[in-house]
Structure 1
Amino acid sequence: MKNLLFILFLAVTSIANAHVGSSDVQMQGQAGPYKLLVSIQPPDVIPGTAQITVFVENGEAQKVTARPIYFYSGDKGAPSADELTKAPNQSAQFTGVVWLMEWGSSSAQIQIEGDKGKGEIIVPIIAVSTAQRDMPKQLGIGLSILGVLLFLLMITTIGASVSDGILKPGEVLSKVQKRRRWINMGIATVVCSVILYGGSSWWDSWAADYQQWIYKPTKGNTAVLVEKDQRVFELKIDTTEWKSQRKGSMLSMLVPDHGKLMHAFLIRTPGLDAFAHIHPERKDSATFTADLPNLPAGKYLVYADIVQYSGFAETIVDTLEIPEKTNNSETEISSEDTYVITDPIDAPGRVPLDANVVICGKPGTKTVFKDGSYAIWEGKPDKPLEAGKPYLLNFEIFNPDGTPCLPEPYLGMTGHVAVVRSDGSVYIHLHPSGTFSMAAEQTFKTRISDTAKVARRPSPQIFRDSVDSYLASLKSMSVAQREEQLMTEMGMYELKTDGMMGMEHTNQISFPYSFPKEGRYRIFLQVKRNEQVLTGVFDVRVNDATAL
């Protein structure tokens, strides 16, 4: 059974992109005076149409439009906007589609007009082909029969045109005319066969070319090294199959997301009972390392998020065997790295308690953090969620005495969530703003303000040097300065004349998400209190909506 689990896990990596098994995009944010919840289902074939649903949470919208904006062609090369239609009996819900014609980093520009004026929001989308359409069997049979009939009709028509078609009324074909008919029918057969062969070859060539454009995720190889009695996590990006020099330069064109070049999540399988969120640093172009927390031995699923210069976000996946520690010393890790032990997903409550253990909860129940504070997930414990339906995962945070707790910024956000399906086939890193990379959103805001029709690509080495300098400056700051810097860069704070004005900040944190398929999911919630990163764990069952 365990071997089957890992076979399934490795199988899903062939279709993974920005996240694993969860391609839909959800975004909650401000479009000027309007608060919106946007849900986008990207196509699995490019060119293709992305399905868009916009929920207007305040105000009365009269018109909502959407248009695709691609990174390389920018605002100047984008098509005109299409108007979304108001859903029946839903005055605040608008639906429609946008065509995504270019492969790669894209976005949807949502514009709204209503009683509060105008507003705009940019939603990043990863546009890649992950599937190839198969012709339905019945359609294929029907077209084949029709093709044979047309082939025969073409040959007989050509034969008749040089024989029966030129006879006068009452005349019969001579031997010469009959011979001419057969000769022309033979020539027609050869010509039509050559045309069919050419068409078939063209189709096969086009299909082979399309196969080259089907998304192939970046691969990585992980290992645990021992340096000075310290276990070190290492991830090497696999470049052995990279033939393009441009592909290789991508490694020097990574951009920080939340102030980190890489966010790595390690989750022990099959119980999902050990979890770590770490931030490996770039050692060389393809190698990233970080001190490994005091995780127990076992086999781990590894998900490592990176973002390219264009805003194209990827998750590198692997499995990692972590050995037992050879000493009992406590490992010193970065203050922004964290780990937790919890009960196995198949055996709730069965875990020995210590300082780094939390008990898993369910919707409507609370999970106590290791410092005594706790989180409650809004919902009913025994009511499963539905796959494909957009939700707001609402969590309320409380101090140990039951008073509301206002979480401190953690990597520029009020909270983070990692969602993992029990078999590892679904993984996603969520923020209160949505399912996308914040770095991708900033990339498109910058790109839209750029008037160039074609993106100007900087020198990879110069770009890498500037990123390294930026990361070094962040490390030199105090925690408070760094968090303020990150929140300002990501638009979480706006500088006003009277000082720093923040977004709505309460003890409730909401994460928009749509579970892609049925199954059991484990949710790792991370917040910060008293300068300490805290992790809570929740389980939920998701049903197939079509089976209800």
Structure 2
Amino acid sequence: MKWFILLSLLVHFFAVSFVAEAHVGSSGVIVQKQVGKYQLLISIKPPDVVPGTAQVTVFVEAGRVSSIGARPIYFRSGDKGAPTHDMLTRVGANRYEGDLWLMASGSSSVELSIDGPDGKQQVVVPVMALATALRDMPEGTGFGLAAMGLLLVVMLITIIGASNADGIVKPNQAPPAKLGRRRLVGMSVGLIAIVLILTGWRSWWNSTAKDYRNEQLYRPTPIHTSVRIADAQRQLTIQFDTTGFGVNRRKRRTLSYVLPDHGKLMHAFLVRIPGLDAFAHLHPNRRDTLNYEATLPPMPGGKYLLYADVVYQSGFAETITDTVDVPSLKVSSVAANAKPSDRDDSWLITEPMGVKVAAVNVPHLDNDMAVCGKPGASVKLADGSTMLWMDKPSQVLEAGKLYALKFAVADAQGKATPLEPYLGMGGHAAILRSDGSVYIHLHPIGTYSMAAEGSLVKRIADTARIFHYTEAVHFRDSIDAYITKLKTLPENEKNQLLAVSMPGMSHQMKTNNMVVFPYAFPRAGQYRIWVQVKRNGRILTGVFDTQVNESLL
């Protein structure tokens, strides 16, 4: 009964949170990039109400910088329709800050122009300009504005009445007998006019507010997720729900224009609740425009949270979510020898979140081991090697504080072992809050999609004032042919092709056995972190738990 109540509350909160949070609780963008001689750590916090201001912070970790300018560029209007750069303010030896207005919803980016003795460079950071919140006026401000408005109305009516009466009085003449009546008539006419104006204004305001709630306020694309058993295998189907596309333009998605990110059209993460003890990183195949399918690995049955990442040609990156019931399946020879539908699929079954501290080689909160003299944690991987969380600043982390999450791998003898590229990068990480309200798919370069960056960079280089899509079927078929080609290539050739198609995804680690992810936990709570690397041709997943408290500042 307790489990059922917990699950019901979780599913309810999970469903509600997506209406309020466009990126499942992690709306900010964090980027760590090497451009020329400059090493930059960039944080952009977009507004939750549009129009609104995005907060831009740039840490210069290496290089001599004299000035940094920033400007928003929307995909549709491109470089030709973008404003000039606003200069960021230097607030420290290596820190620059500023605010940028995002005036409309849609796929956008922030272009940074860096200038200094080490040369001129430009960086493009994808930012989703989305209205994700409703803001109520503070009660005190409302009363104050109402009092001032009433005063202005009274003064305006008085002025209208006076102008209608006193204006006919000539100098050095006695006022007419009907002067008071004219003043009263003028005030009455003025009152009626003001009431009509205010009534029309209120109607416009209510209509605008309704449009904001129903049209502009972002809601993730709905999907229907199901699991069926076919040939002794469980097949996951993710179907886009296009209901409402025809009557609400803001609900529409260019589903034929999905771009591959790291060579995959969709990255789907499955996590079993409530214990978060089963995890899968899958790459469903596109059956048609609306349907994606994947063969489930040998995971236990139960209820799972699903997070699926997709990127559209406009650079708009979206996480679509659902819950799905996975039926239990008896182990058979067919099931035991089944191959995943994608060779880059991976999964892990581990201990439930929050096991006791005395447990050995399993994830748990408040681990007190030391790594190189600093707090850390370690976990055994499937091939006998060990993954270590290095340089953890303390046992309990703080919400809103920027961290470099650093993980290293040592072989069975405790020696550093080199890592291989996994989907073109040094590693991947997925972070989930225990109630499912915060989710992020992390890369060493940051929290944004490399496909979105590539699309926006190409759009900025385009001289067209307005972007026009190519024919949908042709675009979709060309992407499917590209994906098919990637699947047939050896691993080295595939990674080389990915590197050529997305130069921005190159992010070399200084130590070949280590992967680092920049991230700031948005809320306090308990978090589980899955870190995925590749070694000797095998995808390995390490899992860590940590506690995050509210910031002390």
- Shorter-chain TM-score tier: over 0.9
Aligned partners of 1:466 and 1:512: how far apart in 2?
Answer: 34
After superposition, the Cα gap between the structure-2 partners of 1:509 and 1:197, relative to the gap in structure 1 and judged at 3 Å, is same
SS of the aligned residue for 1:317 comes to: strand
* 1:235 equivalent in structure 2: 238
SS of the aligned residue for 2:62 comes to: coil
Aligned partners of 1:16 and 1:217 also within 8 Å: no
* 1:143 equivalent in structure 2: 145
For residues 90-131 of structure 1, give each alpha carbon's deviation from its aligned partner in whole angstroms, at most 9, with x where no partner exists.
311111122212311111111212232222211111111112
Aligned partners of 2:172 and 2:242: how far apart in 1?
Answer: 76
* 1:48 equivalent in structure 2: 52
Aligned partners of 1:85 and 1:95 also within 8 Å: yes
Aligned partners of 2:509 and 2:457: how far apart in 1?
Answer: 19
Return the offset for 1:223: 0.9
Letter in structure 2 aligned against 1:424: G
1:332 counterpart = 2:343:
no
Letter in structure 1 aligned against 2:450: M
Aligned partners of 2:470 and 2:351: how far apart in 1?
Answer: 48
Aligned partners of 1:184 and 1:493: how far apart in 2?
Answer: 71
* 2:371 equivalent in structure 1: none
Return the offset for 1:348: 4.2
Structure 1 stretch 414-423 or stretch 365-374: which is displaced more? 365-374
Aligned partners of 2:121 and 2:517: how far apart in 1?
Answer: 22
* 1:471 equivalent in structure 2: 483
Letter in structure 1 aligned against 2:543: V
* 2:265 equivalent in structure 1: 261
After superposition, the Cα gap between the structure-2 partners of 1:486 and 1:503, relative to the gap in structure 1 and judged at 3 Å, is farther
* 1:498 equivalent in structure 2: none
The counterpart of 1:542, out of the listed 536, 543, 548, is: 548
Aligned partners of 1:16 and 1:315 also within 8 Å: no
1:10 counterpart = 2:12:
no
Return the offset for 1:270: 1.2
Aligned partners of 2:262 and 2:450 also within 8 Å: yes
Return the offset for 1:158: 2.1
* 1:341 equivalent in structure 2: 349
Aligned partners of 1:255 and 1:467 also within 8 Å: yes
After superposition, the Cα gap between the structure-2 partners of 1:493 and 1:279, relative to the gap in structure 1 and judged at 3 Å, is closer
* 1:387 equivalent in structure 2: 399
Structure 1 stretch 157-166 or stretch 333-342: which is displaced more? 157-166
Letter in structure 1 aligned against 2:462: D
Aligned partners of 1:360 and 1:537 also within 8 Å: no
Letter in structure 2 aligned against 1:2: L
After superposition, the Cα gap between the structure-2 partners of 1:350 and 1:305, relative to the gap in structure 1 and judged at 3 Å, is farther
For residues 402-444 of structure 1, give each alpha carbon's deviation from its aligned partner in whole angstroms, at most 9, with x where no partner exists.
2212211111111000000010000000000100011001111
* 2:522 equivalent in structure 1: 516
* Structure 2: gaps of 5 or more residues: 1-5, 368-374
The counterpart of 1:370, out of the listed 367, 370, 382, is: 382
Aligned partners of 1:342 and 1:221: how far apart in 2?
Answer: 28
Aligned partners of 1:466 and 1:86: how far apart in 2?
Answer: 46
Aligned partners of 2:305 and 2:502: how far apart in 1?
Answer: 29
* 2:459 equivalent in structure 1: 447
Return the offset for 1:165: 5.5
1:22 counterpart = 2:34:
no
Structure 1 stretch 256-265 or stretch 444-453: which is displaced more? 444-453
Structure 1 stretch 417-426 or stretch 129-138: which is displaced more? 129-138
* 2:76 equivalent in structure 1: 72
Aligned partners of 1:164 and 1:173 also within 8 Å: no
Structure 1 stretch 218-227 or stretch 318-327: which is displaced more? 318-327
Alignment: residue pair count: 533
Aligned partners of 1:103 and 1:129 also within 8 Å: yes
Letter in structure 2 aligned against 1:114: G
Return the offset for 1:70: 1.2
* 1:460 equivalent in structure 2: 472
SS of the aligned residue for 1:147 comes to: helix
The counterpart of 1:163, out of the listed 155, 162, 165, is: 165
Aligned partners of 1:66 and 1:81 also within 8 Å: yes
After superposition, the Cα gap between the structure-2 partners of 1:503 and 1:326, relative to the gap in structure 1 and judged at 3 Å, is closer
The counterpart of 2:62, out of the listed 58, 63, 67, is: 58
For residues 19-49 of structure 1, give each alpha carbon's deviation from its aligned partner in whole angstroms, at most 9, with x where no partner exists.
3110010001112211111011111111211
Letter in structure 1 aligned against 2:522: P
Q: TM-score normalized by structure 2? A: 0.91
Aligned partners of 1:40 and 1:111: how far apart in 2?
Answer: 15
Structure 1 stretch 28-37 or stretch 157-166: which is displaced more? 157-166
Aligned partners of 1:420 and 1:533: how far apart in 2?
Answer: 20
For residues 150-174 of structure 1, give each alpha carbon's deviation from its aligned partner in whole angstroms, at most 9, with x where no partner exists.
2222222222233355446784662
The counterpart of 1:408, out of the listed 411, 420, 425, is: 420
Q: TM-score normalized by structure 1? A: 0.92
* 1:215 equivalent in structure 2: 218
* 2:372 equivalent in structure 1: none
Aligned partners of 2:18 and 2:345: how far apart in 1?
Answer: 25
For residues 447-490 of structure 1, give each alpha carbon's deviation from its aligned partner in whole angstroms, at most 9, with x where no partner exists.
12211121231111111011111111111212222122113322
After superposition, the Cα gap between the structure-2 partners of 1:349 and 1:234, relative to the gap in structure 1 and judged at 3 Å, is farther
After superposition, the Cα gap between the structure-2 partners of 1:209 and 1:371, relative to the gap in structure 1 and judged at 3 Å, is same
* 1:122 equivalent in structure 2: 124
For residues 489-511 of structure 1, give each alpha carbon's deviation from its aligned partner in whole angstroms, at most 9, with x where no partner exists.
222688xxxxxx97755212111
1:482 counterpart = 2:494:
yes
Aligned partners of 1:205 and 1:28: how far apart in 2?
Answer: 43
Return the offset for 1:249: 6.4
1:433 counterpart = 2:445:
yes
Letter in structure 2 aligned against 1:420: L
Return the offset for 1:228: 1.1
Aligned partners of 1:312 and 1:486: how far apart in 2?
Answer: 20
* Structure 1: gaps of 5 or more residues: 495-500
SS of the aligned residue for 1:470 comes to: helix
Aligned partners of 1:71 and 1:414: how far apart in 2?
Answer: 29
Percent of aligned pairs sharing the same letter? 47
